[in-house]
Structure 1
Amino acid sequence: MTRKLDLRTGRPVWYAYRAPSVPAGKLTRDIKTDVAIIGMGISGAMIAEALTDAGQSVVCIDRRGPLLGSTAATTALVQFEIDQPLSKLVHHIGRERAERAWRRSRLAVMNLKARIDELGIRCNMESRTSLYLAGDVLDAEALRDEAEARRLAGIHATYLTMPELHERSGIRRRGAILSHDNLALDPRKLTAGLWRKVLERKGRFHAPVEAVSVKASRDEVVVTTAGGPTITASHVVLATGYELVADLLPATDHKIISTWAIATRAQKQALWPGRHLIWEASDPYLYLRATADGRVICGGEDENFTDEARRDALIAEKTDRISKKLKRLLPGLDTKPAFAWAGSFGTTPTGLPYVGTIPGHPRIHAAMGYGGNGITYSRIAAEIVAATISGRKDTDAELFAVQR
């Protein structure tokens, strides 16, 4: 049913930190539930938490196991700033819709922080400012226009000149946008914390279990698994990340991209002032952050291909390039990789994800195409899917619809 991908290779830095265990049992018989969720990464966890909070019963399955897919490969720069600049997104979908999408992304980060605080999940979450550096997509003058576009949309943004940027961060670029209230966190700890909350609400987890078919009728959906048992549900959520459910989805402009990342040794004393999240207005762009204990995580060098063998063969070359780019940007850092890994992610031409019911299948819901905003878009997906299944209307759902 799904297109199987080797979602990551190497050793992501998050395995240096212990995350709570998430138990999952075997599926030995046919079962029923309100909602079946396929995929036990961060998207599945957020959706399951929202649904169980609303009183729905959930059964969650994964062909690997909890947290064993692409969740650990994220660099976890949790930003409201969409990959597609607002000043460019307006040319794709119009000003009103583009501004709404950016405002919803901003709200999602605020809501995620509030929910983590409310649930008491310990995931090294910190509020961070973000620096968006001038590059080959937006130069200094275009960044001024971008900052003005955000201001007109009601999103605070401060344009920094070269001297102002250097004074704040030690970075020498022709300009940057400073934004506030983004997040840095440990994605494995967050995901495990969410799953444990779902477990407290009697959520049922089964793994490794592979779904081989999803058949919907007027009143229910039946998920058949590789071992034979079925899951009958009122709704099914496909939170399979970049492994697409090819036989259900309509044709879209969704693409799979390969990416690479490194993490350095801990070096708190060498970090840049403010410990901003940093990314570039370039294609491909470099992006980086610091962990709570002072490691620097840096990723980039994205390429538009899906061949895992080719992707993995490039790890040494790509991570060396990333290390050198990081050194040029911040010469005071030790940029030698202590961790290096490769992964895959889905993207769309507009930078907006595909979230919602699958056309022709009102009881089947999908979430994919997250681009560089995976955790932020997971939150949006949780809000939209939970509202739809509960019979409520999310006013922004059409912005992210699977077919739009």
Structure 2
Amino acid sequence: MRLRTFESFWLVKNGIIYSYPSLQSDSKTEILVIGGGITGALISHALMEAGHQVMLIDRRDIAMGSSSATTSMLQYEIDVPMYRLSEMIGEEAASICYQAGIEAILEMKKLIENTKIDCGFEMKESLYLAHSKKASVWLKREFEIRNKYKLGVKWLSASEVKAKYGLICHGAILSEVAASVDAYRLAHELIQLNVKRGMKVYDQTDIDQIETSGKNPRVILKTGHSIEAKKIVCCTGFESTKLLKEKIADLFYTYATVSEQGIKLNKNIQNTLIWNTGDPYLYMRTTDDGRFLIGGEDSSVNLQFFQQKIKERKAEKLVNKLEEIMPEVNFIEDFSWGGTFGTTKDGLPYIGKSPEFENTLFVLGFGGNGITFSVQGMEMIKNFLQGKVHKLAEYYRFGR
């Protein structure tokens, strides 16, 4: 499965930061982490911090899948609004899931401060725009339930948004906790940090099959070699939909484009992640090198050869939508790309045990805040290994 088109901004900006050998022999480890993107980087870090022996493998170079194409917006907000999620799983449960997102962003901040990794991490606010009068009705309802649970929100009228941000909308929710990061660089640096602590990493190491029925699970590589482990943790994101029989997500293709450096923006936009209620929704952020990034235009069409013309057309549509919201912007495109995007029926991830695989755990963060879900998975996976029940386990379980 191809997870991105070429020329993703983060890859061009950073290059291949670290490279690792492929595995060319049989091997054993305590915990095998499959997937070397941002999720695998976070989970393997948590396991190393807990004192486990860890090996990480990826069939590509490290972080060359979705992590090189993500827009790296960290939000507590789930793709399914809180009022709708409340109708699906109950109001108290929905509030727990939303609050967990806030806690995850603050945990990410702490992690980066402790590791001193330079990855463009910045705490920001999040602005959720009503794109129509009809949408403003349910968005106001969404504000009220979030405010009830003290999630740090404020309602802004259309005129207030225009005055403060120069944006055209029909009202908005301003959330005080959000962040942005370069997830591609963070994944690389976090993995390298743990390599120095003894973690084994192999890229270009492709799996043929996973055998979990014995005492210890093992993976058979396409080279014929095998890796035996006491536990396997799958952090393979959207590609896990091919591994599992249970239908856990619908996959889409989403697009992004980023401006040239030095774009002139309202100063308040610099510190704010922006998205709207459109379907598909539009999302925007600044980068740490003075650019403006916009994404959206999701498509369910499965194009195995993502033609340049489609990418160009999607980038043009994104800029047109931006100009409707921000008429005075002078957006000059520098890079555009696309990547695979997945959604679940309730907007929540799948983290935990699947009945399809013994001795195997999954951390699959779908949706617009997949990185935030992956941070939550750090503590959840440690709890599973210790036989403890995490407060989110029931909501993120398989078979729900």
TM score, norm. by length of structure 2: 0.95
Q: CA deviation at 1:357?
A: 1.1
Number of the residue aligned with 1:351: 347
What is the distance in 1 between the residues matched to 2:283 and 2:226? 43
Give the 3-state SS of the residue equivalent to 1:365 in structure 2: strand
Pick one of 91, 104, 115 that aligns with 1:108: 104
Counterparts of 1:103 and 1:270, CA distance in 2: 31
- Whole-angstrom CA distance in 2 between matches of 1:304 and 1:353: 20
Q: 2:392 aligns with which of 382, 396, 400?
A: 396
- Read off the aligned partner of 1:303 and give its amino acid letter: S
CA contact (8 A) 1:38 1:211 kept: no
CA distance in 2, matches of 1:227, 1:77: 37
Asked if 2 retains the 8 angstrom alpha-carbon contact of 1:250 and 1:403, the reply is no
**Separation of aligned partners in 2, 1:297 and 1:339:** 9
- For the Cα contact (< 8 Å) 2:167–2:326, is it kept in 1? yes
Question: Is 1:323 the counterpart of 2:323 in the alignment?
Answer: no
**Which segments of 5 or more consecutive residues in structure 2 lack a partner in the other structure?**
none
1:147 aligns with 2:143: yes
Q: 1:173 is matched by which residue type in structure 2?
A: C
Q: Aligned residue for 2:167?
A: 171
Q: Which residue of 2 aligns with 1:157?
A: 153
For 1:261, the aligned partner's letter is: A
SS in 1 for 2:305: helix
1:295 corresponds to: 291
Q: Please state whether the residue corresponding to 2:239 is helix, strand or coil.
A: coil
- Alignment partner, residue 76 of structure 2: 80
**Residues 130 and 179 of structure 1 are in contact (CA less than 8 Å); yes or no, is this contact kept in structure 2?**
yes
What's the offset of the Cα at 1:333? 2.2
Partner of 1:125: 121
1:266 maps to 2:277: no
- Residue 266 of structure 1: SS of its match in structure 2? coil
Amino acid at match of 1:69: G
The CA deviation at 1:62 is: 0.9
| Alpha-carbon contact 1:22-1:195 (below 8 Å) kept | no
1:256-296 deviation per Cα after TM superposition (whole angstroms, max 9, x unaligned)? 11111100001254345242110001211110000122200
Q: Is the 8 A contact 2:311 2:337 kept in 1?
A: yes
AA in 2 matched with 1:288: M
Tell me if structure 2 keeps the 8 A contact 1:215–1:222: yes
* Higher mean displacement: 167-176 or 329-338: 329-338
Q: CA deviation at 1:70?
A: 1.0
2:101 and 2:108 map into 1 onto residues whose CA distance is 11
Q: Secondary structure at the match of 1:121?
A: coil
Q: Bigger shift: 96-105 or 381-390?
A: 381-390
Residue 210 of structure 2 aligns to which amino acid in structure 1? V
1: CA distance, partners of 2:72 / 2:297: 17
Residue 56 of structure 2 is aligned to residue 60 of structure 1: yes
SS at the partner of 2:318? Answer: helix
Q: What's the counterpart of residue 255 of structure 1?
A: 250
The aligned counterpart of 1:41 is: 37
Cα displacement (A) at 1:360: 4.8
The Cα RMSD (Å) is 1.9
Whether contact under 8 Å (1:358, 1:402) holds in the other structure is yes
Go from structure 1 to structure 2 and tell me whether the alpha carbon gap of 1:218 and 1:301 turns closer, same or farther (over 3 Å shift). Answer: same
Once residues 319 and 123 of structure 1 are traced to their aligned partners in structure 2, the CA distance between those partners, rounded to angstroms, is 26
Flag as ranges the 4+ runs of structure 1 deviating above 6 A. Answer: none
% of aligned pairs identical? 31
Number of residue pairs matched by the alignment: 399
| CA drift at 1:19 | 6.3
Q: TM-score, normalised by structure 1?
A: 0.94
Against the structure 1 CA distance between its residues 312 and 351, is the aligned structure 2 distance closer, same or farther, given a 3 Å change threshold?
A: farther
Query: What is the DSSP-based 3-state SS (H/G/I as helix, E as strand, rest coil) of the residue aligned with 1:283?
Result: coil
Deviation at 1:228, TM superposition (A): 1.4
Please tell me whether the aligned partners of residues 263 and 290 of structure 2 are also in contact (alpha carbons under 8 angstroms): yes
| Shift in Å, 1:253 | 4.2
What does the per-residue CA deviation read over 1:341-393, in whole Å, with 9 as the maximum and x for residues that have no partner?
Answer: 01112210111111111115341112225111121111122221222123332
Q: Deviations over 1:41-84 (max 9, x none)?
A: 11100000000000111111111120111101001111111111
Q: Distance in 1 between matches of 2:79 and 2:211?
A: 35
Deviation string 1:285-311 (CA, Å, 9 cap, x unpaired) is 110000122200000011223333367
After alignment, is 250-259 or 107-116 more displaced? 250-259
Within-5 A mapping of 1:97-246: 97-135=93-131, 139-217=135-213, 219-244=215-240, 246=242
Residue in 2 that maps onto 1:90: 86
State the distance in 2 between where 1:340 and 1:129 align.
25
CA distance in 2, matches of 1:161, 1:201: 51
- In structure 2, C-alpha distance between the alignment counterparts of 1:220 and 1:311, rounded to whole Å: 44
Aligned equivalents of 1:69, 1:274: Cα separation in 2 = 29
Give a deviation string over 1:88-114, Cα, whole Å, max 9, x none.
Answer: 111122212111111111111111111
How far apart in 1 are the matches of 2:241 and 2:163? 49
Are the equivalent residues in 2 in contact too, given 1:250–1:359 (CA < 8 A)?
no
CA positional deviation for 1:20: 7.5
Specify the code of the residue in structure 2 equivalent to 1:265.
E
